[in-house]
Amino acid sequence: MNIEKTIENFKKNGYAVSLFDTATEAADYLNQSIDGKSVGFGGSVTLQDLGVFDTLSTHNTCYWHWPKSGKAMPEVIKAAAEADIYLTSVNALSENGEMVNIDGTGNRVASTLYGHEKVYFVVGTNKITEDLPSAIHRARNIASPLNAKRLGRKTPCAIKGDKCYDCDSPERICNGMVIHYKKMGSCDMEVVLVKEELGY
Ligand code: SF4
C-alpha cells in the first residue's frame, strides 16, 4: 500500500487530503475544523471508533441515527441529509484516487454526492487498495460481508463470512454502489486518512 501515491492522486482529483498517525489526532482535527455547524453522520464503524459524535456535539448540532437520540430514525436521517457538513467513511479507496461505497438504504451514499457545504471522508489506511477493480472487490467481498455480520443479517455472507454471494436475501444490505472517480462539483470534499486499522 502506497500512502504517498494515494495522497498525491486524491489531491490531483480535487480533494483536500489530511493524514494522521492516530485516530485520536484525526478526531482532534475534526473537532477543531468543524464549529457552529449542523453536522450529519453516515453509518460508520470508523466514525464510531473515532468517537467524534460526542465531542462535535458539544459545539455543533449533530445528527446520527446510530446513537439513541429519542427521535425517530427517519427524522434523524432527513436532518443529517440536510446538514451543512457530512461525515462518513468509505468501503475502499484506491491508490489512483477513487472511492467505492456500497449502501442498502441509500442515505449515506446520497450524501456523498450532493447537498452539503463539505463532506469529510474519514478512512483508515487499511482500506487502501491498488486500483479501482480491487477497491470494488474490497467493498463487495470484505466490507459488505463484515457489515452484514455486524448487523446480524440473515445473508450467506454474514453466515460464512468469506465473500459476497450476490444474494437475493430480503436482508441484503447491498442495493447501490457509488464510485467517486473524482471530487463531485457540488461541494468541498476532504479525505482524512488515518494510519490505523479502522472500520471494515
Ligand atoms: S449482496 Fe448479499 S451476500 Fe453479497 S455482501 Fe451484500 S448482503 Fe452479503
What's the chain's average pLDDT?
A: 95
Residue 26 domain-assigned? yes
Atom of ligand 1 nearest to the CA of 167: 2
Residue 68 domain-assigned? yes
Residue 175 domain-assigned? yes
The C-alpha cell at 77 is: 436521517
pLDDT tens string 126-158 = 999 999 999 999 999 999 999 999 999 999 999
Question: Structurally, how many domains does the chain consist of?
Answer: 1
Atom 4, ligand 1: which residue's CA is nearest?
Answer: 164
Question: What is the Cα–Cα distance from 197 to 174, expressed in whole angstroms?
Answer: 23
Please state the rounded mean pLDDT for residues 98-104: 97
Residue 23 domain-assigned? yes
Residue 199 domain-assigned? no
The CATH number for 145's domain is 3.40.50.10420
Residue 71 domain-assigned? yes
DSSP letter string, 66-116: SS--SS-HHHHHHHHHTSSEEEE--SEEETTS-EEEEESSSHHHHHTTSS-
User: Residue 118 pLDDT > 90, yes or no?
Assistant: yes
155 lines ligand 1 (CB under 6 A): yes
pLDDT at 166: 97
147 lines ligand 1 (CB under 6 A): no
pLDDT at 74: 84
Which of 166, 168, 175, when mutated, tests ligand 1's pocket best, judged by the most ligand atoms within 8 Å of its CB? Answer: 166
Residue 124 domain-assigned? yes
Atom of ligand 1 nearest to the CA of 171: 7
pLDDT at 68: 67
Residue 200 domain-assigned? no
pTM of the predicted model as reported, rounded to 2 decimal places: 0.95
pLDDT at 1: 85
Domain containing 155 equals 3-194
pLDDT tens string 24-79 = 999 999 999 999 999 999 988 999 999 999 999 999 999 988 776 667 788 889 99
pLDDT at 174: 97
